[in-house]
Amino acid sequence: MSAAVDSLADDVEAIEQAFISQWAHFGQGPGGQFHSDGDLIWTEAPVTELPYNAVVRTRLGADADGRIDEVIDHFRRRGVQFMWPVLPTTEPADLARGLVQRGLAFVEHGTGMSLDPAHWKIEPRATDGPIDYVEVDNNNMWAYEELIAQYWELRDESREYVFGVNSWAHGLGHGRRLVAFQDGQPVGKAYLSYTLGEDSQSVSTDTASIFGVYVKPEARGYRVATTLMELLIDAAFESGRKRVVLHSSQMALALYLRMGFAARCSLPVYATTPLHSLQPS
């Protein structure tokens, strides 16, 4: 096997493991339930909206139809919206067709991407602009959580759980969160995670992943998303990680390609309702 093929396989595995790690938080944090059944990894949350109830890894065998029905029936009895991404190693290969037959719809065309230091070009950044970039601590966590609530359109009754999971994950110390402020108000955020795999206690020494990049509409045009990404990528490579991975929506794909990321795999998402309306996919 060539080095290029090895690199692709390693990157795809890291992309999948980063995805599983991030969603595992929603089940392992306070108020959630995390199920690692061997053939399925899935999370439950005490809220009804996406993305907190989800199947995040599927490795089904001969009993695939029965297991799919079992989990879908469980979520529907609870009356919650849920999602089911199809990862590169998903089994069975025709899972998407089965999900559609059971009433789920294709809601997002995600792309798994990776960046290695050889393709990262650091350019001079303006320091005298209207945006301030601040690392999240206990004093400004409110700003980061306010942006979470806006992005995912959280109902008031869902915020306690979502904010609790965020604070719990932050307390693990396995990543860095940044908030962009304009005139003292939070307008953008992003998260760099060093966790890899379903165990929230495991930290990767070679991979970092970026999640939750969001910029409010009124702050677009100031390179906020780009600057948040640059700061976190710098931090990842300065810490010795050899790759940064992420999961891109269609809207953000061109930005990440310009930054040197390579598209590595497709990550289609199926769900019972659109993921959100604020950020088109």
The predicted-structure confidence for 100-113, as pLDDT tens digits, reads as follows 999 999 999 999 99
Q: Quick check: 85 and 112 in contact, CB under 8 A?
A: no
Cβ atoms of 143 and 280 within 8 Å: the answer is no
Confidence at 4, pLDDT banded by 50, 70, 90: low
For residue 280, name the pLDDT band (cuts at 50, 70, 90): very low
Single pTM value for the model? 0.91
218-232 tens-digit pLDDT: 998 889 999 999 999
Spatial separation of the C-alpha atoms in residues 153 and 260, rounded to whole Å: 31
Torsion, CA 51, CA 53, CA 56, CA 61, rounded to 10: -150
Q: Map out the domains of the chain as residue ranges.
A: 3-112, 115-264
Strand pairing report for 105-115 and 262-271: antiparallel
Give the domain 115-264 fold. Aminopeptidase (3.40.630)
Q: Are 219 and 182 in contact (CB under 8 A)?
A: yes
Summary mean pLDDT of the chain: 92
